[in-house]
Amino acid sequence: MTTEATAQTIDIGAGADSLARLHFRVASVFLALGALAGLILAIELSAPSFLNSGPLSYGRLFPVFTGALLFGWVTVGLIGAIYYLLPRLTGADLQDEALARLSLILVAGGSLVGIIAVAAGRNQGVPLFEFPFYADIAVIVGLAGVTRVVSRTALAHREPHVYISVWFFVAA
């Protein structure tokens, strides 16, 4: 009985694990990009003339910094954590892994396009919502895909009870 339970646990998380690792890798790239932008911002605070031209000016680099960390690192990383934990908490396989991969492409791609557009001077001028409309659409459609994957996985639960953390994952 113990080997069956172990085998079932391993099978449940196998597809979701590779997807979660992919999310963590993409999130780490955005973390490195955000950290580099933050380092340049910190240097510019003490030496205002350092790389102070065009895309590297403080006014353009600060939204790049926040966008890379907020949409790239935190959002993609938390989605990866949900994809890792949800199959283990529900006892069900992650539903529609192809949609989950497409959602990663949309969220990460939309974030990257938004970061590049902001660095090029194209933004909406609203703090924390600087990405242009076309980048916003890609991120929102990607997040809608994540919502579908998470909801379908939570509804396919095989556990006799649903943990409160699963409720929060679906609500997030």
Higher pLDDT residue, 156 or 78? 78
How does DSSP classify residue 111? H
Can you tell me the mean pLDDT for 75-91?
92
Confidence of residue 3 (pLDDT cuts 50, 70, 90): very low
CA dihedral of residues 109, 67, 96, 17 (deg, nearest 10): 100
pLDDT tens-digit series, residues 106-141:
999 999 999 999 999 898 888 888 899 999 999 999
Q: With CA atoms as reference, report the closest residue to 38 among 54, 62, 60.
A: 62
Please compute the mean of the pLDDT values over residues 137-152 and round it to a whole number: 95
Span of 17-21, 75-79, 136-140 with lowest mean pLDDT? 17-21
Q: Which residue has the tokens 């590049």?
A: 116
Tell whether the model's pLDDT for residue 166 goes beyond 90: no
User: DSSP assignment of 66-81, as one string?
Assistant: HHIIIIIIIIHHHHHH
Give 62: exposed, middle or buried? Use CB within 10 Å, 0-12, 13-18, 19+. middle
- 64: alpha, beta or left? (left if phi > 0; alpha if psi -120 to 50): alpha
Return the pLDDT at 22.
95
pLDDT at 6: 47
**Is it the case that residue 2 has pLDDT exceeding 70?**
no
Q: Which amino acid is at 69?
A: L
Any idea what the CATH number is for the domain that residue 29 is in? 1.20.210.10
The parent domain of residue 118 ranges over 2-171
Of 32, 31, 61, which is closest to residue 44 (Cα–Cα)?
61
Distance CA 111, CA 131 (A): 8
Checking if the pLDDT of 102 tops 60, the result is yes
Q: What is the pLDDT of residue 170?
A: 81
More confident residue, 42 or 2: 42
Return the ∠ at Cα 21 (arms to 89 and 171), rounded to 5°: 40
Of 154 and 107, the one with more pLDDT: 107
pLDDT tens figures, 30-75: 999 999 999 999 998 888 888 777 788 888 899 999 999 999 999 9
Report the residue count for the chain: 172
Q: What is the pTM of this model?
A: 0.85
**Count of domains forming the chain:** 1
Q: Which pair of tokens denotes residue 130?
A: 């600087």
58/54 Cα distance (integer angstroms): 9
